[in-house]
């Protein structure tokens, strides 16, 4: 299978030109339910399967699960900073370095799945409380040198959730792993 397809099983992120209130509500619902989809995707995997990379040179399923928690905790904090500060400059982190840490490579996924479930529930509650003006608040990303609105960030993290869940489900399909 082509490397681009393995790397981006749902395609690369394409931000919409405009974001409606209905689109935001759909994204919030998707984000809130992403941990359940992830839990379903890994629920019957053995340690051997969890330690299988989703593509050659890629992270293992276990690392992907832990990465989602790491990334989404950072994003949740960026939302909070943006809601309480004027265009904060966010602090990037070394996601590849974090994925290579011992806990990301070896820890059981159960606690991380619970963390994600609670985090996404809390994040969805925050998002549902936000006004249109709050969704227009911004943060500055010093690596990309971009100013990002919170509604843009929401769309990106919904895609991010679906993107990594697809890494796992597509690997299961390719490996012909059948779960009851």
Tell me: is residue 167 an annotated ligand-binding position.
no
For the record, the structure tokens of 169 come out as 């489900």
**How many degrees, rounded to 5, is the angle at CA 126 between CA 123 and CA 161?**
30
Would you say 168 and 59 are in contact if contact means Cβ atoms under 8 Å apart? no
Q: Is 57 helix (H, G, I), strand (E, B) or coil?
A: coil
Rounded Cα distance, 149 and 126, in Å = 15
Would you say 46 and 172 are in contact if contact means Cβ atoms under 8 Å apart? no
Tokens 């904090």 sit on residue:
77
Tell me: is residue 160 an annotated ligand-binding position.
yes
Tell me: is residue 72 an annotated ligand-binding position.
no
Q: Which residues of 141-177 are buried (b: 16+ CB within 10 A; e: fewer)?
A: beeeeeebbbbbbbbbbbbbbbbbbbbbbbbbeeeee
Burial, 98: exposed, middle or buried (Cβ in 10 Å; 0-12, 13-18, 19+)? Answer: middle
> Binding-site residues for Zn(2+), please?
67, 160, 164
> Binding-site residues, please?
67, 160, 164
């Amino acid at each position: 299978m082509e490397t681009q397809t393995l790397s981006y099983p749902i395609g690369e992120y394409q931000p919409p030109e405009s974001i409606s209130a209905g689109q935001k509500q759909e994204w919030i619902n998707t984000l809130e339910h992403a941990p359940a989809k992830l839990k379903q995707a890994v629920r019957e995997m053995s340690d051997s399967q969890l330690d299988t990379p989703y593509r050659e040179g890629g992270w293992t399923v276990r690392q992907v699960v832990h990465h989602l928690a790491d990334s989404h905790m950072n994003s949740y904090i960026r939302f909070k900073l943006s809601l309480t500060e004027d265009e904060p400059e966010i602090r990037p982190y070394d996601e590849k370095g974090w994925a290579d840490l011992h806990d990301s490579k070896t820890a059981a996924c159960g606690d991380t799945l619970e963390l994600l479930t609670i985090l996404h529930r809390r994040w969805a509650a925050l998002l549902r409380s936000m006004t249109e003006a709050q969704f227009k608040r911004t943060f500055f990303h010093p690596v990309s040198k971009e100013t990002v609105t919170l509604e843009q960030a929401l769309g990106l993290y919904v895609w991010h959730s679906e993107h990594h869940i697809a890494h796992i489900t597509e690997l299961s399909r390719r490996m012909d792993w059948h779960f009851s």
